Structure 1
Amino acid sequence: MALVTMKRLFDHAMKEKYTVGAYNVFNLDTLVAVLQAAEKEDSPVIVQLSMGSRKYQPYFETFVRCVKLYAEAVHVPVGLNHDHCKTVENAKEAIDYGIPSVMFDGSHLPFEENVASTREIVRYAHECGAWVEAELGKMAGFEDEVFAESTQFTDPHQAAEFIRLTGCDSLAVSVGTSHGGVAGDSSLKLHFDVLEAIRSAIPESYPLVLHGAASVPEELVRAINAQGAHVPQMRNCTEADISASAAYGVVKANMDVDNHLCYSAAIRQKLGEITEKYDPRMYLKPAREAFETEVRHKMKNVSQSSGKNWLKENAE
């Protein structure tokens, strides 16, 4: 099946009150892991690329075509988004590469500059038939080499004004999650009062997005550290909080860190077991399977998207 639009993905998610998980991929193995997870869970999914994957992939435009080709091989709804474009030029380049949805992160800019840059991207994107996700409010943590020390919640009335002024198609809001988690002794809390106020201030069917929706559970950090890593334990919102956000019109949740923890832990473990072997497939396959298993867990237990394959419903 060819890629589907964000509008189709989000309309169904809004109606059925679930979120579509968005998972960053950087090579064919991680792409296959996400697509196989979606097929096995009969779930819609969003494949995400990033500025980091652009740096990692020397033939990035060809990789974009590969993503589209692989999406044709599966029988679930698949969307494609470029996450966290840092500049107007980044976003326009992504659209020119053939990516049908781009996310521009102007959250670090003053409100007026964020509006102006987002509006320029929206104008260009809509002329090309592309979707634009924007961001308002600051989240603590690192994202593609950009660091925010503290969280600044999205102002509900400012969100309504931002949507009106820019015409962006969906909005990532800051309501308590963080990029990669923050140091602390207990989980962060999703501020449902802020989320509800945002929901009340904007059009009823307008799609909202959560970034930093990976929960960074202790067992995943322990698992990778048991293989010789020294990853600090970070804290983020719980899976239960992320799941509950769907009731407020959150239709997309970016979940990345947990997948990377599983992928890297599996490689470390397998390399320790096959010290006399040198075939990369012997450790890359378990890593891909670990990535897939974690994505399946998110679909079943966090986004609640398992079994929501509306392509199958339409066929019937």
Structure 2
Amino acid sequence: MSVEGSTKAVVTALGANLGIAVTKFVAYLLTSSSSMLAESIHSVADSSNQALLLIGGKRAARSATPEHPFGYGRERYIYAFIVSIVLFSAGGLFALYEGWHKISDPHPITSWHWVPIAVLLVAIVLESMALRTAVKESNAVRGSAGWVQFIRRSKSPELPVILLEDTGALAGLLFALAGVGLTLATGDGIWDGLGTAAIGVLLVVIAFVLATEVKSLLIGESAGPEQISAIERAIVAGDDVPSVIHMRTLHLGPDELLVAAKIAIDVADDAYQVAAAINGAEDRIRQAVPIARLIYLEPDILRRP
């Protein structure tokens, strides 16, 4: 996963959301539309999330220490998990509350009728541009995987998070546009409340999906099937290692993989030959899968039938 591509998508989304948040809040002050208030909070939450992703990426780049000998790569997962919590609490729950409040006490938009429509249309354009950047950067790394597969299997959290956030933001804007438009057309403020509630449900669902996927990364995921096959082929590519008895892999971060394997050696090999076999296998693994930074190979006697 390209760190530069992830950072570009995050920075693009952050810039768009900061500008959109201010514009939406001004529109809310002029019209008292609950959809505009919910969307303002949504954009503030998204902006906070993108700032958190940038902080997580910076902190994850720190070098290993005696206290943390495997480094800080998982900080990116921790901050991505915090993002899902922020999106759920600050975005989704607030929008649900505001929607319920507006449905309980509906009132029409009586002034500055054109403002929310204009703001939402401009926001849709800006969010579409941010989503386009996220899609472009994701296409560069997802290969032949479908979008659902990419989000579920990606070891780097930033692009899946931005993809879901930007998609949710665009859908939320459409809900808000529908709610505000129907309120202006009918004079019934309940449509504004329903649009707000729809935004809340959408954000809660996205937050749940994000939390589930990032939790799996925090617990610890193995390398992908292609990388596992490449490592196994690399180990036995030389004449010094006949076979792999068993192997385990673990992502310490998106760009750092731990490989632990028990490899077979011939009973006739001496200590020098065993050491040379291990060193040769490690070199081949690193060439085949460059993110395999930590490699532990344990030799065992090959038991011939």
TM-score by length of 1: 0.26
TM-score by length of 2: 0.27
Name whichever structure is richer in helix by fraction.
Answer: 2
